[in-house]
Structure 1
Amino acid sequence: MDFEGVLFTAVGAALILLMVADVFLTLLYPHGSGPVGRTIMRAFWRVSSKVHGGASSIAAPLAMAAVIAAWAALAAVGWALLYLPHLPDGFSYSNGIPRHADFAEALYISLVALSTAGFGEIVAIHPVLRLVMAFQAVAGFGLLTATVSWILQTYPALSRRRALAHQLNLFREAVGPSGLASLDPRHAAVLLESMAENVAAVSIDLLSFNETYYFHEVEQRGSLPATLAYAHGLASEAQGSHNPELRFAGRMLYAALDDLAEVLRGKFGHVGNTSSDVFDHYELHHRHRRPPERA
């Protein structure tokens, strides 16, 4: 193999490793996201914000589709570069199939192997190439399974976030302007502890599924950025109560909100010296205004 063949092989192997690392960090690593996926998600978010004057509800789904396409492209091009130095002598062609030694031919072979279609008109001869093609077919099936798993994991996390926002909005409508004072302290403590558990679950979701951050809610009732300030106010009010159970629940909710603010600050670049400042910046970034308080 000449220098050009070695170069193609090295670049192809690097692209394959990048794809594998990105899929691993996005789907299997509990607190990370791959560089390719993260870059694409952020790019779609920023472009959508500039074009629409605010975040778009279709930006994140389109970005996820783009990430999946990027994984497939990295795999297809990477393996094509591995095959290119061995064309056409390293492969057996069926009768009537023209023999080419260009990148288009290598990409075709790579796509057939990746999709596990296996047309059979072009078959590797060398034992190593045969193993490489077989491994690519396995990787193609694994990539398909991984993308389906990614989608199935993402939307339950979004549902938990939306459920928390709805819970806070329902609570605000139920208690009215009097707030926690209209409730029995013990009952209020139970409700706030439930909210604290849900806030903690959302924090874990944002750490494990970074892509869920970029989903913008069309309806304000399901928007967590628009309701976190209210939750923060409830935690402060509860901590000033004379009832020890309600004070404890307030501290739990306050601690859960602080953890969420730290995730937003550390993972997604929101600024603010206090949790309240971070939530304000989060709300502004998602272009949701809070509904006016009822009189």
Structure 2
Amino acid sequence: MDLEDTLWTVVGAGLILLMLADVFHTLLYPHGSGPVGRTIMRGFWLLSKKLRGGASPIAAPLAMAAVIGAWAGLAAIGWALLYLPHLPGGFIYGEGVPRRGDFAEALYLSLVTLSTVGFGEIVASHPLLRLVTALQAVTGFGLLTATVSWILQTYPALSRRRALAHQLNLFREAAGPSGIASLEPRHAAGLLEAMARNVASVSIDLLSFHETYYFHEVEQRGSLPATIAYAHRLASDAEGSRNAELRFAGRMLHAALNDLADVLRGKFGHSGTTSSAVFDSYELHHKHRRRPEPR
């Protein structure tokens, strides 16, 4: 191969490695997200806010589709660049198939192989090229499976976040302006401990599924940014109680909220030295007004 062919091969291998690294960090690494996926998700989020004056509910689903398309595009172009230096001499063409050695031919071959269609009118003749095409087919099947799994794992995480927001709203409506003071202390402690567990689950979901942060709720009732401040108020009220069991539940909820604030501060750039300030920034970022407290 000459210098140009070597360059295409290196660039193609780099694109394939970038795709694999991004898929690994997004789907397999439990506390990370790939640079490509993270950039696309944040880009769609910021673009929707700029165009609409606020986040759009369809921005995140569209961004996920764009991430999947970017992975497929990186894989298709990367392998096409690997094939390009070997076209047409390194491949056997079927009868009536024109022998071409341009990028369009290499991209067609790559797409057919990646999608595991394998028409068979163009077949690699060199053993190493045969191995490369087989590896691409396996990668294509794995990429399809991985993206389906990604989608199926993302929406349960969103459901847990919405469930916590609904739980907080139901508690606020049922307890009224007096909050936990209207409940028997042991009962209130049990409810706050359940909330703490749910808050911890949301924190883990945001770490494991970075993209769920960018989903904007249509219904304010299901929006955690609009309701999480109420959980902070409940924790503070419980910590000031005379009942030891309720104070413990308040500390437990406060600790879970502090962990959530650390995730929002560290992973998503929210400012604030206190958890309350971080939650205010979180609410503002999602453009949901906090519901007024009942009087």
**TM-score computed with the length of structure 1 as normaliser:** 1.00
Partner Cα distance (1:103, 1:20) in 2: 22
1:206-257 superposed Cα distances (whole Å, 9 cap, x missing partner): 0000000000000001000001110000000000000000000000000000
In the alignment, residue 218 of structure 1 is paired with which amino acid? Answer: V
Mapping 1:184-199, distance limit 5 Å:
184-199=184-199
Cα offset for 1:200?
0.3
In the alignment, residue 273 of structure 1 is paired with which amino acid? Answer: T
1:22-77 superposed Cα distances (whole Å, 9 cap, x missing partner): 00000000100000000000000000001110000000000000000000000000
Partner Cα distance (1:111, 1:273) in 2: 50
Partner Cα distance (2:206, 2:45) in 1: 16
Mapping 1:109-148, distance limit 5 Å:
109-148=109-148
Mapping 1:79-118, distance limit 5 Å:
79-118=79-118
Partner Cα distance (2:236, 2:64) in 1: 38
Name 2:267's counterpart in structure 1: 267
Cα offset for 1:112?
0.4
Cα offset for 1:87?
0.4
Q: What SS does structure 2 have at the residue aligned with 1:123? A: strand
Name 2:182's counterpart in structure 1: 182
Name 2:35's counterpart in structure 1: 35
Name 2:54's counterpart in structure 1: 54
Partner Cα distance (2:142, 2:126) in 1: 24
Cα offset for 1:294?
1.8
Partner Cα distance (2:161, 2:134) in 1: 41
**TM-score computed with the length of structure 2 as normaliser:** 1.00
Name 2:283's counterpart in structure 1: 283
Mapping 1:193-208, distance limit 5 Å:
193-208=193-208
Question: Once superposed, which parts of structure 1, at least 4 consecutive aligned residues long, lie more than 2 Å away?
Answer: none
Partner Cα distance (1:4, 1:113) in 2: 24
Name 2:256's counterpart in structure 1: 256
Partner Cα distance (2:254, 2:70) in 1: 40
> Paired residues, what number?
295
Q: RMSD of the alignment, in Å?
A: 0.4
Cα offset for 1:117?
0.4
Name 2:224's counterpart in structure 1: 224
In the alignment, residue 48 of structure 2 is paired with which amino acid? Answer: S
Name 1:17's counterpart in structure 2: 17
Partner Cα distance (2:16, 2:73) in 1: 10
Percent identity, aligned pairs only, is: 80
Name 1:26's counterpart in structure 2: 26
Partner Cα distance (1:18, 1:211) in 2: 19
Partner Cα distance (2:235, 2:293) in 1: 17
